[in-house]
Structure 1
Amino acid sequence: MTTLSLSTSSAATLRADAVVIGLAKGDDGPSVVAGGEAVETAFGGALDSVLTALGATGAESEITRVPAAAGAGSFKAPVVVAVGLGAAPEDGFGTDQLRKAGGNAARAVAGLKKAAVAIALGDAASVGAFAQGVLLGAYTFDAYRENSLEGRKSAVKEVVLVGAKARDKAVKAAFEEALVVAESVNKARDLVNTPPNDLNPKVFAGIAVDLGKNFGFKVEVMDEKALAKGAYGGILGVGQGSATPPRLVRLGYTHPKAKRTIALIGKGITYDSGGISLKPAGANETMKMDMAGAAAVLGAVTAIARIGLQVNVTGWLALAENMPSGTATRPGDVLRMYGGRTVEVLNTDAEGRLVLADAITRACEESPEKIIDVATLTGAMMVALGNKTYGIIANDDDFRSAVHDAAERTGEPSWPMPTPAELRRSMDSTIADIKNIGERMGGGLSAGVFLREFVAEGVAWAHLDIAGPAYNEGEVSGYTAKGGTGVAVRTLVQVAADVADGTI
């Protein structure tokens, strides 16, 4: 695990295996950004020329290495690593530019024991963003790999941000909060990356219990007997085909001065085969990630508790394994959901909305002001928005806009989506209150329309469909790792902070 610290030392005198500087892209070539002056001095003012000769342009994500022995005199580090930040806006580098630079820097120094970063980060927000990027970019999931595998580099052991205002209270607070959030994102990534044979509903619930004990929030677990007694037909119906029974986990964080409450609900299908409506070949291999919504909620509640936000939060993890068997729910079955409403199940692969409906109904009984559910819910949302942007559906336009704004501020791409009234008619059932699927076109929207049916009147609700960005099968970039991304953790923490300070 990478450790990160602030230091007032100079990059030229600090003993490290590498010094990282920032490089901006300009019309006249690359230029070292503020903070790297001591490094430039050590190179006799010729560092820009050296980097240009090596082909550096300062483009975002570009990495250029320069041996210090090439002209750095008494410079302590043996190598300088220049990380491209892209063009510098007139008002300075944005927080997500810095977050990506931090991630690129962490990967550029992988395998080293210690690296120093000589980039002037300025205000507290910039320090927090860069620090967060470093820890997110340094993330590796090594639980199932031998250390002897060739070609692998372990994460850098230590990174020091030099020249930072380490004694400034605002900077220190932003730095520490960034570390907490990044650690929580990485925990969510660990959960998403864990194989389904080692992460079933019971194990997931146990992890939540341990985190609650460690970080000061309450955890209550409803097993299959409690779910049957409470008539949670959606969660039980989805999980009844599996040898591992489902769970509903309630997380509870309270602050003694809090006056407002928000509920966070996560879809936690620890493996989704599609059930009797079996997924086609090629669509099963990554279905361990279908619990990414629950992982995000658990990560967010953990971070909120560690930071100590002045808001009351309930988290709900709707955990089940969706498997085909002789006991599985069949297409055509009718489930009686928690609260009494009936659902005709026409596609058992539209299971996420069933477990979420039970959890939403239960969460509303505690009268939260606002609810957000998070789910890898539909392939249709991926068709609409691609693999890097999640959709936001809501029953309140202002709340949807506020969640979108929070997501944008944390660097998580999202897009507001509508809830067309006509899609509800396509879910009318001749024998039950509602069908679990509607017309094929607009499937991501109809899933949201279905969930809205279970939200209590007067409660502002938003649904985040993270099916696209929850799992990265593409290239590593910025601070985004391969596999589980931990998406939505940062958004949920920011929304909770906004609720706490009255912004939302």
Structure 2
Amino acid sequence: MPPTITATDHPLEKLTGDAVVVAVGKGPDGPLPTPGAEAVDRLLGGRLLPALADLGARGAEDEVTRMPSFGQGPFPVVAVAGLGAPDASGGYRPEAVRRAAGAASRALGGRRAVVSLLAAVGGTPDADRLHAVGEGALLGAYEFTAYKSDLPAGRPVPPSEITIVVPDAGAAEDALRRVRAVADAVALVRDLVNTPPNDLYPAELAARGAAAGEKVGLAAEILDEDALAAGGYGGILAVGQGSTRKPRLLRLAYSGRGARRKIALVGKGITFDSGGLSIKPALKMEDMKSDMAGAAAVIATVCLVAQLRLPVDVVATVPIAENLPSGTAYRPADVVTFRNGKKAEITNTDAEGRVVLADAIARAAEDKPDYLLETSTLTGAQMVALGSRTAGVMGSDDLRDAVVAASERSGEGMWPMPLPAELRKGLDSPIADFVNANADRMGGMLVGGHFLKEFVPDGLPWAHIDIAGPSYNTGAPWGYTPKGGTGVPVRTLLATIEALVQKD
């Protein structure tokens, strides 16, 4: 169960808990105090910073130093989270606060209640910092134990209660409702991505997505393989035909009161990607259960929009398939006909994401949306270009830049990428409208963007977010990011949609 999160404006001396969390910055000569840390320092008789210096604490990002209070306060443990160096103004970005809160949650496993003064990092807490503290604390407390058959007694578990100290608890409650909703949406994505592919096959992902949508009042539609054939979804059928577990298309629709705009969401749902006949190397193939992270993200986002009751219409279109080699698998040299009538020569069956997305984008465009946002673990080239934590964003310049700006507010790293005209030539086919993959590996992420662009109608603002690296953390946990599914880019999609609503 996720921890509960509440706000209080009671004095620190009158609160109780298993631990108190404060933050310090990183200075040239050691940790830098913040207003929250100063409150605890007074309880400890001015010994907080000297104790940190003795323990070798620096205030660096992801650093959490725990120390006893020695009975000098109503908390047995003081956890000091590092914020890193302050910015040019002497303050700390909300993302630094979010990471510090997440790192503290991870470090305080086994503690029942945690009281956080992180919201006071910049003096009087503002909405951005309150959101950052709440999101970081809840996201950092996430764990996935569904397949653990023998959890040891007394093991460290995430905090069960988190209280944030603020000047006005009543005013903070609306912000915390949003924080809870966002954290639940991210946890849904993480759970889906972490679920093994023998349990999360196409029909099951579609069913779980529909159930999540119906829970918040969304209209849900699932197309099976017969309906896909009748509807001309040649790309989804081609990718899924190598598996005995047949493909699906999930559609979730939300109609917001007072909506003036319609937004289409599309997310790639490959529940396992072996590469098909163009099979991947065995090393790390197990990570390919995460190839449906884009699908999970758009499912969670449309549910989140409904829960927050935003005044906008949103329709999520989710193509779902399992890409396996077999006697019925699609082949290099096959020609696939998509829903909009365009045809692609298959040159690489491991470039399957764009093949299922082509059908989904074509279907989403039929709804005449005002904007189209698509996210997928599209290319390994994204990680080659930008690493494992930064997504690449392509598409219409204005919407692409709006997504990147939203990612800066949400704390999910993204970078705007171009679509150079000369790279489109790499998709030319001698027998079809285009090939699905360029033999020249240069600019692979951008070539993938060009392929998707072929299915976006002229004049429709669109953006593609390649999350091949950021959606699945194969390394050690950091900040509020666990090992495994991360939940990227739910928070950016929400921030983008909210900005588009405000714009209109």
Question: 2:210–2:250: 8 Å Cα contact kept in structure 1?
Answer: no
| CA-CA distance at 1:101 after TM superposition | 1.0
- In the alignment, which residue of structure 2 is the partner of 1:116? 115
Q: Which amino acid aligns with 1:148?
A: L
Question: 1:371–1:459: 8 Å Cα contact kept in structure 2?
Answer: yes
Deviation string, structure 1 residues 443-481 (Cα, Å, up to 9, x no partner): 111111011001112101111111111111112111111
Change (3 A) 1:429 1:408: same
- In the alignment, which residue of structure 2 is the partner of 1:254? 255
- In the alignment, which residue of structure 2 is the partner of 1:159? 162
Deviation string, structure 1 residues 201-254 (Cα, Å, up to 9, x no partner): 111111112111211211111111110110100000000111111011111011
Structure 1 length-normalised TM = 0.96
- In the alignment, which residue of structure 2 is the partner of 1:196? 197
Length, aligned pairs only: 497
Q: Mapping of 1:483-498 within 5 angstroms?
A: 483-498=484-499
| CA-CA distance at 1:149 after TM superposition | 4.1
- In the alignment, which residue of structure 2 is the partner of 1:126? 129
C-alpha distance in 2 between matches for 1:298 and 1:222? 16
Question: 1:12–1:38: 8 Å Cα contact kept in structure 2?
Answer: no
C-alpha distance in 2 between matches for 1:444 and 1:420? 11
Once the two structures are overlaid, the 10-residue window that deviates more, 350-359 or 467-476, is: 467-476
Q: Is 1:437 aligned with 2:437?
A: yes
Q: Is 1:217 aligned with 2:215?
A: no
Q: Which amino acid aligns with 1:401?
A: D
Question: 1:138–1:155: 8 Å Cα contact kept in structure 2?
Answer: yes
Question: 1:231–1:338: 8 Å Cα contact kept in structure 2?
Answer: yes
Q: Which amino acid aligns with 2:115?
A: A
Question: 2:41–2:48: 8 Å Cα contact kept in structure 1?
Answer: yes
- In the alignment, which residue of structure 2 is the partner of 1:405? 405
SS in 2 for 1:24: strand
C-alpha distance in 1 between matches for 2:327 and 2:340? 27
- In the alignment, which residue of structure 2 is the partner of 1:263? 264
Identity over the aligned pairs, expressed in percent? Answer: 49
SS in 1 for 2:351: coil
| CA-CA distance at 1:260 after TM superposition | 0.5
C-alpha distance in 1 between matches for 2:108 and 2:12? 15
- In the alignment, which residue of structure 1 is the partner of 2:236? 235
C-alpha distance in 2 between matches for 1:469 and 1:151? 33
Q: Is 1:54 aligned with 2:55?
A: yes
SS in 2 for 1:405: helix
C-alpha distance in 1 between matches for 2:90 and 2:301? 31
Q: Is 1:145 aligned with 2:148?
A: yes
SS in 2 for 1:285: helix
SS in 1 for 2:84: strand
Question: 1:107–1:137: 8 Å Cα contact kept in structure 2?
Answer: yes
C-alpha distance in 2 between matches for 1:164 and 1:224? 56
- In the alignment, which residue of structure 2 is the partner of 1:226? 227
Change (3 A) 1:284 1:151: farther
- In the alignment, which residue of structure 1 is the partner of 2:376? 375
| CA-CA distance at 1:44 after TM superposition | 1.4
Q: Is 1:415 aligned with 2:418?
A: no
Unaligned runs of 5+ in 2: none
Deviation string, structure 1 residues 243-281 (Cα, Å, up to 9, x no partner): 111011111011120101111100000000111111112
Q: Which of the numbers 75, 78, 93 marks the counterpart of 2:76? A: 78
C-alpha distance in 2 between matches for 1:416 and 1:462? 10
- In the alignment, which residue of structure 2 is the partner of 1:286? 287
Unaligned runs of 5+ in 1: none
C-alpha distance in 1 between matches for 2:449 and 2:304? 27
Alignment RMSD: 1.5
Question: 1:374–1:466: 8 Å Cα contact kept in structure 2?
Answer: yes
- In the alignment, which residue of structure 2 is the partner of 1:176? 177
Once the two structures are overlaid, the 10-residue window that deviates more, 143-152 or 340-349, is: 143-152
Once the two structures are overlaid, the 10-residue window that deviates more, 107-116 or 346-355, is: 107-116
C-alpha distance in 1 between matches for 2:339 and 2:310? 31
Question: 1:35–1:163: 8 Å Cα contact kept in structure 2?
Answer: no
C-alpha distance in 2 between matches for 1:389 and 1:102? 21
| CA-CA distance at 1:28 after TM superposition | 4.2
Structure 2 length-normalised TM = 0.96
C-alpha distance in 2 between matches for 1:405 and 1:243? 42
Change (3 A) 1:37 1:420: closer
